[in-house]
Chains A and B, each alone.
Chain A
Amino acid sequence: MSSTATQEMNLHFRVKDALGAAVVAGLVGLPMLGLTTRDGASGLEVQTRWALLAVFIAVAFTGRITLQMLLQRFRLFSKRRLRARPTSELTGNGSLVWAGAACVTFAVLLPALFAGNRYVVDTATTVLIYVMLGWGLNVVVGLAGLLDLGYVAFYAVGAYTYGLLSTHFGLGFWQCLPIAGGLAATFGVLLGYPTLRLRGDYLAIVTLGFGEIIRLVLVNWGDVTGGPNGISSIPKPTFFGLPMQASGDGPTFATVFGLDYSPGQRVIFLYYLILVLALLTNLLVSRLRRLPVGRAWEAVREDEIACKAMGINVTNVKLSAFATGAMLAGFAGVFFAARQGFISPESFTFSESATILAIVVLGGMGSQLGVVLAASLLVILPELGRDFSEYRMLLFGIAMVVIMVVRPGGLISHRRATVRAPGGEAKP
């Protein structure tokens, strides 16, 4: 066939395809964009916005044609590429280690690099909380392959433990940290136990249920938890016993170090605190991965039956994954409560669980660095969109879909082996 004929055919096909997209856009846009209801004099009235609908259809048409051309040009979705490259051949181990070191260095220097910019340090603190949560959930979902949709429950346990113990019994941040971790871990085991025999997706709904149960209990058991109003006046953590305030009963951080007190000090202190907690989390999880228990987590994810056939107690392995993940969320919860000074059930909804799960999957399950990247993205993107506050969440949803479609395996889908045989090639 002559090239002009194929070109014509191509064009014909493309136009047909784009027209299809336009029709769909019209049907979908009609009830949402084209029509809407407004409160009128006596009940609702229907309002028409044909111009808006027309624009939408036009955008859909041109967008579709553009997309087709891009796809053809760059062959983004050729079937071969979707079957991801063998995991062993992605980025070499070396480059990931360098990237990791660079991230840590940047994180340590951040307050100096952005001195005086409280907003940046604040945002970075939020990112680090999510990084810690992501690493914790990574143990359950990424390593052990247990689909936990109610992770926020353990986060809440940690936060409320600190909130209650500090306001009722005067316990300090550092004392509550281990208590909250232990309590959260216990909850992890309790919540994990009924799920042991369940298939992956049944497990999901049960964990989701637990998350909701915890939230509802927090909302309704007002006597203990303060109900929807939550708990306030939660004390901030101290620097080895020295409070970070303007003035106190005894020496404060400022007085001991001969500095003028400024609120910025507290912000920076909190930042380094979460940075330390996060780094310790990373250390713990990396170590555990290389220990028998960590390998067992991954083995159970790969093939439970083979594990049983080798005498591995799958129940204990799963429960240990739940407990470890829960404990880390508990620690994060304590920090969260301390930082905010105030907690309420509103911070512990299913949306939070979904966000943390999204971080783990977007990062590339099992990848530590991936979680850092994904958390940064998911926290910073909505912040950048603050100007478009109305469209913020809308774009956020779209971004989620787009990222998954473009990189279903996550940002970093490389798995590092926990143990290497020396050499690699056998000498004959």
Chain B
Amino acid sequence: MNQALQQLINGLTLGAVYGLIAIGYTMVYGIIGMINFAHGDIYMVSAFIAVTCFTLLANSGISSVVASIVVTLIVSIALTSVFGWTVERVGYRPLRGSNRLAPLISSIGISIFLQNMVQLTQGARVKSIPPLVTGGVNLFAGEGFHGPYVSYVQILIVAVTIVLMVAFTLFINKTAFGRQQRACEQDQRMMQFLGYNVDRIIALTFMIGAALAAVAGVMVTLYYGVIDFSIGFEAGIKAFTAAVLGGIGSIPGAMLGGLVIGLIEAFWSAYLSPEYKDVATFVILIVVLMVRPSGLLGRPEVEKV
């Protein structure tokens, strides 16, 4: 029972991270219908930015953990958003309007570029930083009995994710920009005719996706303390799977998909075999898609006959 609760906590934490990255995939897909293969590597870049920032602050004598985290979040979000903007401007905007696969191949090229760029400029070895947030609580602690252990980092990650989701949902549904963004998803041409700057809306979408990935990057740096240039690829595939599982184009679906995958990973590794956890994830994805071809929360795309 203990073990199960522990895995539940671990899984939700991991899932929250996947969810944040998955939202970036789903938003980009929703608005321009492309799979952004480079998104996972944007997340990886943000983790490296976080490491550099944390190190800089620590070595400058900043001892406040809260300040470190806040500053790093701001810096990472800001710079990663610029990365997101640049990638869209250079690799995808010139291809808008051409066939469906050209941006995909371009994104693969960008992914290769980012991974190798980081390898060259930041080194191919892993980077590790000492844990900033330590300690946690034992739930249901009692005489000679202790429940699952929730670390403060885990609480932080889940809390940040919840706050972000609430803020983000409000943003998408209530603000003018959110409306424009959703309108672009439905009918880009019309938005152009109405005089909206569709280029800017799309660019901002990429930046928002990158920002969320940046939060995930900072969180992961705090959680694991170890990063290298290849984490983007793995996380990218998982997050993309999460987005599809939840129904691509649906933001709550992306988060739901992330949580599901996080839970599958945690439980499968603990109870069955860690080597095959990814196989389990994909098999479950396939089963879900066979039963619900548009994903868990996806809107079934009915082709008008």
Chain B's nearest CB lies how many Å from the CB of A393? 5
User: CB of B4 within 8 A of chain A?
Assistant: no
Given contacts A27-B82, A404-B102, contact A44 B117 (CB under 8 A): no
Assembled-state Cα–Cα distance A31/B217 (Å): 14
Which residues does B use to contact A, with CB under 8 Å? 29, 33, 35, 37, 45, 48-49, 51-53, 55-56, 59, 79, 82-83, 85-86, 90-91, 94-95, 97-106, 108-118, 120-123, 125, 127-130, 233, 237, 240-241, 244, 248, 273, 275-276, 278-279, 281-283, 285-286, 289-290, 293-295, 301, 303, 305
**Are A199 and B294 interface neighbours, CB within 8 A?**
yes
Contact of A199 among B101, B237, B275, B301 (CB under 8 A): B301
**Are B101 and A44 interface neighbours, CB within 8 A?**
no
Contact of A401 among B55, B90, B115, B117 (CB under 8 A): B90
**Are A404 and B109 interface neighbours, CB within 8 A?**
yes
Given contacts A37-B127, A209-B285, A357-B105, contact A401 B91 (CB under 8 A): yes
11 A-B pairs with C-beta separation under 8 A: A194-B286, A202-B293, A220-B276, A357-B104, A362-B105, A397-B109, A398-B109, A404-B105, A408-B99, A408-B102, A409-B99
- B91 — which chain A residues lie within 8 A by C-beta? 401, 405
Contact of A398 among B55, B94, B113 (CB under 8 A): B113
Assembled-state Cα–Cα distance A201/B86 (Å): 24
Of all chain B residues, the one with the shortest Cβ separation from A354 is: B108
Chain A's nearest CB lies how many Å from the CB of B42? 11
Chain B's nearest CB lies how many Å from the CB of A203? 9
**Are B51 and A361 interface neighbours, CB within 8 A?**
no
**Are A212 and B129 interface neighbours, CB within 8 A?**
no
Chain B's nearest CB lies how many Å from the CB of A18? 14
- B301 — which chain A residues lie within 8 A by C-beta? 199
User: CB of A77 within 8 A of chain B?
Assistant: yes
User: CB of A204 within 8 A of chain B?
Assistant: yes
6 interchain residue pairs of minimum CB distance: A400-B109, A397-B113, A397-B112, A209-B282, A408-B98, A408-B102
Interface of A is mostly: helix
**Are A209 and B109 interface neighbours, CB within 8 A?**
no
**Are B102 and A361 interface neighbours, CB within 8 A?**
yes
**Are A36 and B241 interface neighbours, CB within 8 A?**
no
User: CB of A200 within 8 A of chain B?
Assistant: yes
**Are A32 and B112 interface neighbours, CB within 8 A?**
no
**Are B120 and A390 interface neighbours, CB within 8 A?**
yes
Contact of B289 among A31, A194, A394 (CB under 8 A): A194
**Are B108 and A400 interface neighbours, CB within 8 A?**
yes
**Are B106 and A405 interface neighbours, CB within 8 A?**
yes
Assembled-state Cα–Cα distance A209/B241 (Å): 8
**Are B82 and A44 interface neighbours, CB within 8 A?**
no
**Are A397 and B285 interface neighbours, CB within 8 A?**
no
Chain A's nearest CB lies how many Å from the CB of B109? 3
- B117 — which chain A residues lie within 8 A by C-beta? 32, 394
Of all chain A residues, the one with the shortest Cβ separation from B79 is: A31
- How many A-B contacts at CB < 8 Å in the complex? 183
Assembled-state Cα–Cα distance A403/B80 (Å): 26
Given contacts A194-B286, A357-B105, contact A31 B52 (CB under 8 A): yes
Assembled-state Cα–Cα distance A299/B110 (Å): 32
- B55 — which chain A residues lie within 8 A by C-beta? 37, 43-46
Interface string of A26-60 (1 = CB under 8 A from B): 01101111011111000111100000000000000
User: CB of A396 within 8 A of chain B?
Assistant: yes
Chain A's nearest CB lies how many Å from the CB of B289? 6
**Are A212 and B285 interface neighbours, CB within 8 A?**
no
**Are B59 and A46 interface neighbours, CB within 8 A?**
yes
- A401 — which chain B residues lie within 8 A by C-beta? 90-91, 106, 109-110, 113
**Are A212 and B294 interface neighbours, CB within 8 A?**
no
**Are A358 and B282 interface neighbours, CB within 8 A?**
no
**Are B79 and A201 interface neighbours, CB within 8 A?**
no
Assembled-state Cα–Cα distance A204/B123 (Å): 32
Assembled-state Cα–Cα distance A44/B35 (Å): 35
Given contacts A31-B48, A37-B122, A358-B105, contact A409 B241 (CB under 8 A): no
Given contacts A305-B303, A408-B95, contact A204 B52 (CB under 8 A): no
User: CB of A239 within 8 A of chain B?
Assistant: no
- A37 — which chain B residues lie within 8 A by C-beta? 51-52, 55, 122, 127
User: CB of A284 within 8 A of chain B?
Assistant: no
Contact of B237 among A141, A212, A397, A405 (CB under 8 A): A212
Assembled-state Cα–Cα distance A409/B100 (Å): 10
Given contacts A31-B48, A37-B55, A401-B90, contact A201 B35 (CB under 8 A): yes
Assembled-state Cα–Cα distance A35/B303 (Å): 51
**Are B279 and A397 interface neighbours, CB within 8 A?**
no
Of all chain B residues, the one with the shortest Cβ separation from A217 is: B279
**Are A44 and B122 interface neighbours, CB within 8 A?**
no
Given contacts A83-B97, A205-B285, A405-B91, contact A358 B108 (CB under 8 A): yes
Assembled-state Cα–Cα distance A32/B120 (Å): 9
List CB contacts (< 8 Å) of A60-113 with chain B.
77, 82-84
**Are A24 and B86 interface neighbours, CB within 8 A?**
yes
**Are A197 and B305 interface neighbours, CB within 8 A?**
no
Interface string of A111-152 (1 = CB under 8 A from B): 000000000000000000000000000000100000100000
